[in-house]
Chain A
């Protein structure tokens, strides 16, 4: 009787262990899949970042900024008469 119940217990344990192996390998496969998707996403974002960086430096190119400042905003470097002198007591840097 005791022998029999020990056997049943062991069988149940084996079944539980087998099921958990199935479960964990399923989880691992799912996570692996997710990891691969995230890697793909990271690659895509890397791509975007590179493109945006280049786009940004094109828009902010100095010749473009200078042209816009000159032509649209009518900006010029100040001439001597336009400078205001301010007296500072502290020693200048």
Chain B
């Protein structure tokens, strides 16, 4: 037996066992090596690739919407606010599996069931489609509560404009994705816009969030923007301008009010306007912020600056007299006429009567660059630096050689173009006693430094002369404000039509300041193509100035300075005629 056993053992040689064992060991080592390679050693094609593929199938990055900054007025009243809304979207590939529930879904979304089914089946190969955007969160919750497969909610923000049409031109609006499209919403989009955050979540096969993996990067809300606008004055200006346009059947109009102590814009309104909350019927013409984008020839409203040039030259003093007879004047082929022969006028009376002949005589007696120089210094034809999209710079052409007719035209406001805002800024120079304060729309904005551009005594005496325009016999009597002294100037400009100046189309202007003894508020009113016959600046634009600036005096708590007038009224005990 032992022999047999030995024989059997010898039948299976040791080397065979060793070969087998070695072979199996090799396989095992190979497996371990491969595993090691995939899991640890080979980062590129092994570990990281596999981990990445795994994550790509389960981990999703969800974006967290960011709150867009508010736009508020100078007192913090909201002008543009983002409020949370919910958008319902669907994965059509999933939703087509449950077409039976589409009518229910349509009812919840307040949509046409047939249209919704058609939309879903036509997009059935897509993975994302908005069903309805910007629903109230409560309504969206009801849709989700129905738990229809493939229907999801996305949180978003929607922009509301509480003041509506009153500030629409200035504030502008955003599109459905909350990106600024117009006005300050566009100009300060980067400042207002928040940075959306993100978080990583683990999702199962059906796309349900299993758990949040980390708190991620929180959304960073945008910054608030504070305007210099006073919503009370803005509303007032809006109401009066709209009423005036309706009264005079005018095509368009603007009003700009600035605080001459700081250059801050207190109100800026335009008509026609639009409601930024409902833009379905918005017309392109109604979208322009005319006070800043539209240029016009300023006409008689620049005459005070021509007089300032005359005073600066030293050839004239506040008491100088100008002979305007015979009431007309020929320059080249043109004839300039006054309504009547005013005879000899003082500088004050030239402004009071707005005499074309008087102002032309004045400008022709000056060095040919003087008037241009004054206009240039007070900021006409130059960007105001507000950064508002589409703002015009105006046009102030300089000529190497001035023809007499060009000089005369320039002196009474033709041959140059300005915006209403520029004109207001220029009148601010008179109001502040000769200091140009760059206009400001945003409280936070840095503006260029203020700059003295006119001798104080000249600015004061021009302001004094402009008070006569409002007094009986002047062109601007309807700009009168009870209990306050007013200084201002009317303008009636022929509009440029095809082939020269149109005879029947006018721009009616009024630029002025109050209280005249210590000017605080500068207001410019433009009425474009007033119908109804009353197209003179003193008739169409001055009453708007009077009402808006008068209310502004009371709202800004400015002490009445027309003391004589108040005393006279009190002693006479009669009701003053309202302007």
Residues of chain A having any CB pair with chain B under 8 Å: 32, 35-36, 43, 46-47, 50-51, 53-54, 57-58, 61-63, 77, 79-81, 83, 85, 92-93
Contacts and interface: CB of A to CB of B under 8 A. Distances in A.
Contacts of A53: 78, 81, 83, 162
B83 A51 contact: yes
A47 B232 contact: no
B569 A54 contact: no
Contact of B576 (A43, A54, A62, A79): A79
A81 B162 contact: no
B84 A80 contact: no
A32 B210 CA distance: 13
A17 to B, nearest CB: 25
Interface stretch (B17-25, B118-126, B560-568): B560-568
A57 B77 contact: yes
A62 B566 contact: no
Interface string B155-192: 10000101100000000000000000000000000000
Contacts of B569: 79-81
Nearest to B518: A92
A62 B155 contact: no
Contacts of A32: 212
B78 to A, nearest CB: 6
Nearest to B560: A83
A57 B77 CA distance: 8
Contacts of A61: 162
Contacts of B566: 80, 83, 85
A54 B85 CA distance: 14
Nearest to A32: B212
Interface of A is mostly: helix
A37 to B, nearest CB: 12
B82 A50 contact: yes
B81 A43 contact: no
A50 to B, nearest CB: 3
B231 A80 contact: no
Contacts of A93: 559
Interface string B14-55: 000000000000000000000000000000000000000000
B83 A79 contact: no
B246 to A, nearest CB: 16
Nearest to A29: B211
A47 B565 contact: no
Given A63-B239, A81-B573, A50 B212 contact: no
B241 to A, nearest CB: 14
Nearest to A93: B559
Given A63-B235, A80-B569, 8 more contacts: A43-B155, A53-B78, A54-B162, A57-B162, A57-B163, A79-B575, A80-B570, A81-B569
* Nearest 9 Cβ contacts at the A-B interface: A50-B83, A57-B162, A80-B569, A62-B235, A47-B84, A80-B566, A80-B482, A80-B576, A83-B566
Nearest to B483: A80
Contact of B84 (A43, A77, A79, A81): A43
